[in-house]
């Protein structure tokens, strides 16, 4: 008996070889030597880390297929960065923490995911794309990569990570997009949840 194999392209998606650039507004241009990431909220140990400190924490390398809710997918994108399990060890979230929020430098952009999501071994805080520092268009110097969810959950230009006890709707989520965002379940809109 052959097991039914999961297709590589989620339902309703179209494969592209290009790497489209997508954001709600203007592309922020962050000075690499001024960049600071604040990690705070319901944690024992809030931290502020510069790019050099983050670079020293790199411990992850992933190859991921990514899926945008506007229907493009791209296979085999390669990123290096930091596992969130390493970040959790550093900041020590309080016992009742259940969500994490990412804030982009394009202010007002936020997105949240359950804390379980970021413990996955294919979810990272990325510092390189194809072994080069991430450019401004794709969210440099630091972005999130969560391949298992529609790509709007993968915040670009992350300047703040906040741990919460309760969820808070993010930018696209407030606009009617799914808070769960599972491409395999085609959870594009809140009405699909
Ligand atoms: N800060 C920030 N992150 C963001 C967005 C945004 O508007 N601002 N858009 C999201 C959306 S909808 C997508 S598809 C991806 C696009 O990433 P890319 O431009 O590297 O392809 O970024 C996500 N992260
Ligand atoms: Mo998107």
Instruction: Give pLDDT tens digits for 98-150.
Output: 999 999 999 889 999 999 999 999 999 999 999 999 999 999 999 999 999 99
Which atom of ligand 1 sits closest to the CA of residue 156?
3
Question: For residue range 65-104, what is the model confidence (pLDDT) as tens digits?
Answer: 999 999 999 999 999 999 999 999 999 999 999 999 999 9
Count of C-beta atoms within a 10 Å radius of residue 92: 12
**E strand or H helix at 74:** strand 72-83
Q: For the chain, how far is it from start to end, CA to CA, in angstroms?
A: 33
Return d(Cα 87, Cα 91) in angstroms, integer. Answer: 6
Cβ-contact 43, 163 below 8 angstroms: yes
68 CA closest ligand 1 atom index: 14
pLDDT score recorded for residue 178: 98
Say yes or no: CB of residue 154 within 6 Å of ligand 1: yes
Centre of ligand 1 to C-alpha 11, Å, is 20
CA distances from 70 to 52, 143, 148 (A): 35, 20, 16
In this structure, what token pair is assigned to residue 46? 């809030």
Residue closest via CA to ligand 1's atom 8 equals: 23
CA–CA separation, 141 vs 135, rounded Å?
A: 7
pTM here is: 0.97
Q: Which atom of ligand 1 is nearest the CA belonging to 106?
A: 1
Lookup: tokens for 95: 């016992």
CB-CB contact of 161 with 87 (8 Å):
yes
| Per-residue pLDDT at 2 exceeds 60 | no
CA distance 61 to 69: 24
| Residue tagged 């510069």 (tokens) | 50
Probe residue for ligand 1, chosen from 156, 157, 189 as the CB with the greatest number of ligand atoms within 8 Å: 156
**Residue spans of alpha helices (H) in 2-57:** 51-55
Nearest atom within ligand 1 for CA of residue 138: 20
Alpha-carbon distance of 172 to 187, in angstroms, equals 13
**34, 50, 64: which is closest to 144 by C-alpha?**
64
Best residue for ligand 1 mutational test, from 77, 108, 147, 151 (most atoms within 8 Å of Cβ): 151
Any ligand 1 atom below 6 A from CB of 153: no
The helix or strand, by DSSP H or E, that contains position 174, with its residue range, turns out to be: helix 171-174
């Amino acid at each position: 008996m052959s097991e039914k194999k999961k297709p590589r392209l989620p339902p309703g998606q179209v494969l592209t070889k290009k790497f489209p650039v997508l954001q709600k507004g203007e592309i922020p241009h962050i000075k690499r030597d001024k960049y600071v990431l604040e990690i705070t909220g319901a944690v024992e140990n809030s931290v502020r880390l510069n790019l050099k400190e983050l670079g020293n924490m790199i411990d992850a390398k992933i190859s991921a297929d990514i899926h945008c809710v506007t229907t493009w997918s791209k296979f085999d994108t390669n990123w290096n960065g930091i596992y969130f399990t390493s970040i959790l060890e550093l900041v020590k979230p309080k016992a009742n923490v259940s969500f994490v929020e990412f804030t982009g430098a394009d202010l007002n952009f936020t997105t949240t995911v359950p804390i379980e999501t970021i413990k996955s071994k294919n979810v990272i805080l990325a510092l390189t794309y194809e072994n080069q520092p991430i450019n401004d268009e794709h969210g440099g110097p630091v972005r999130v990569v969560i391949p298992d969810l529609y790509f709007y959950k993968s915040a670009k230009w992350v300047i703040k990570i906040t741990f919460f006890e309760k969820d808070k709707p993010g930018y696209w989520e407030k606009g009617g997009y799914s808070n769960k965002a599972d491409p395999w379940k085609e959870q594009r809109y809140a009405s699909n949840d």
